[in-house]
């Protein structure tokens, strides 16, 4: 049977404020080999202008010998409002690809109502996700409806979504060629909510980026007890045919591979 997790498109290095000190490019590459991956992407946060040198610094710090591993350098950018993003097209063109978050609602730059409930939070994420899909900047939408530092759980937010809202987002992403991130952590933490959300999205033909969002090398390749196993993912209907590859990106460029 073909291995399901062969790539990991959302990995943070120590350059991200959330990244562990151990997450050096060398350690990430070594972890990818240990996980049996064929390709990874290092995507540090670019939220503020002072973060914009992070991808270039990572590229310079890559080991000289990657052992045949394909390594791509992108970023995790942010959607602040339907017409405001943390990066622009000129900057995006310098990267191999872009992971775009539309659910970092804790950021002060994000336009949000004064009073948040699970329903208003769900509505806001729908609007921001639709904007990210249509921005021409995003290749992957990060952790859909997963809100860090939220007073509400993933289950509570997803529980307020309407089926038509999810189907509409999936169809828009599929039409735009934008993938939706599928993090196996959600199937571990909230299997019912994750099963419903990604099950709806599967109906739309959108591609999924199977990612770890690792902040430490030990998580690269979705390893460890916090992630659902390949067997569990297959039981949810996740197959290799549903998964996004960077070659699907319109402006695809060959990776750094030595």
Distances (CA, A) of 185 to 2, 118, 129, 193: 21, 20, 20, 12
What is the structure's pLDDT at 149?
Answer: 87
**Where does the pLDDT of residue 256 fall: very low under 50, low under 70, confident under 90, or very high at 90 and above?**
low
- Tell whether 131 is covered by a domain: yes
* Average pLDDT of the segment spanning 37-57: 98
Give me the mean pLDDT over the 147-161 stretch.
95
Percent of the chain having pLDDT more than 90? 91
In a domain, 257, yes or no: no
The domain in which residue 123 lies consists of 7-248
* Cα–Cα dist 120/195, whole Å: 22
pLDDT reported for residue 2: 81
pLDDT at 248: 80
pLDDT for 251 equals 57
**Residue 87 in contact with residue 54, Cβ under 8 Å?**
no
* Burial (Cβ within 10 Å: 0-12, 13-18, ≥19) of residue 17: exposed
Which CATH number fits the domain that encloses residue 224? 3.20.20.140
Q: Is residue 192 part of a domain?
A: yes
Whether 258 is covered by a domain: the verdict is no
Residue 159 lies in a domain: yes
pLDDT for 258: 45
What Rg, from alpha-carbon coordinates, does the chain have?
Answer: 17
Residue 255: the pLDDT is: 59
Average pLDDT, stretch 21-31?
97
Higher pLDDT, 253 or 19: 19
Q: What is the pLDDT of residue 115?
A: 86
pLDDT tens for residues 112-129?
988 899 999 999 999 999
How many residues are given for the chain?
258
Q: Please determine, for residue 14, whether its predicted confidence score (pLDDT) is greater than 60.
A: yes
Check whether 243 has a pLDDT greater than 60: yes
- Res 253: pLDDT: 59
Tokens coding 177:
């060629």
Q: Is residue 63 part of a domain?
A: yes
Q: What is the pLDDT of residues 189-227, one digit of tens each?
A: 999 999 999 999 999 999 999 999 999 999 999 999 999
- Name the residue among 102, 212, 202, 208 with its Cα closest to residue 157: 102
How many angstroms separate the CA atoms of 127 and 118, rounded?
Answer: 14
At residue 176, the pLDDT reads 95
pLDDT higher than 90, residue 252 = no
Domain count, the chain: 1
pLDDT of residue 114: 84
Considering the chain, what is the average pLDDT of its residues? Answer: 95
**How far is residue 27 CA from its own chain's centroid?**
20
Whether residue 71 lies inside any domain: the answer is yes
Q: Would residue 1 count as lying in a domain? A: no
* Residue 100: φ, ψ to 5°: -115, 125
Q: Does this model's pTM top 0.75?
A: yes
């Amino acid at each position: 049977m073909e291995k399901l997790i062969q790539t990991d498109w959302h990995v943070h290095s120590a350059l991200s404020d959330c990244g562990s000190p151990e997450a050096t490019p060398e350690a990430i590459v070594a972890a990818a080999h240990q996980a049996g991956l064929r390709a990874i992407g290092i995507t540090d946060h670019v939220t503020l202008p002072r973060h914009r040198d992070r991808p270039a610094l990572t590229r310079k710090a890559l080991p000289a010998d990657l052992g045949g591993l394909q390594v791509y350098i992108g970023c995790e950018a942010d959607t602040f409002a339907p017409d405001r993003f943390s990066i622009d097209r000129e900057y995006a063109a310098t990267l191999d690809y872009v992971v775009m978050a539309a659910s970092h609602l804790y950021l002060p730059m994000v336009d949000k109502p004064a009073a948040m409930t699970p329903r208003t939070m769900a509505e806001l994420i729908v609007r921001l996700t639709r904007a990210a899909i249509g921005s021409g900047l995003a290749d992957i939408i990060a952790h859909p409806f997963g809100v860090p530092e939220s007073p509400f759980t993933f289950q509570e937010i997803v529980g307020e979504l309407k089926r038509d809202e999810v189907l509409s987002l999936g169809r828009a992403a599929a039409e735009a060629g934008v993938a939706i991130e599928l993090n196996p952590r959600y199937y571990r933490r909230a299997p019912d909510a994750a099963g419903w959300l990604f099950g709806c999205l599967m109906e739309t033909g959108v591609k999924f980026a199977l990612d770890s969002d690792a902040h430490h090398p030990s998580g690269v390749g979705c390893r460890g007890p916090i992630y659902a196993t390949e067997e569990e993912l297959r039981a949810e209907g996740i197959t290799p045919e549903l998964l996004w590859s960077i070659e699907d990106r319109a402006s695809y460029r060959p990776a750094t591979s030595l």
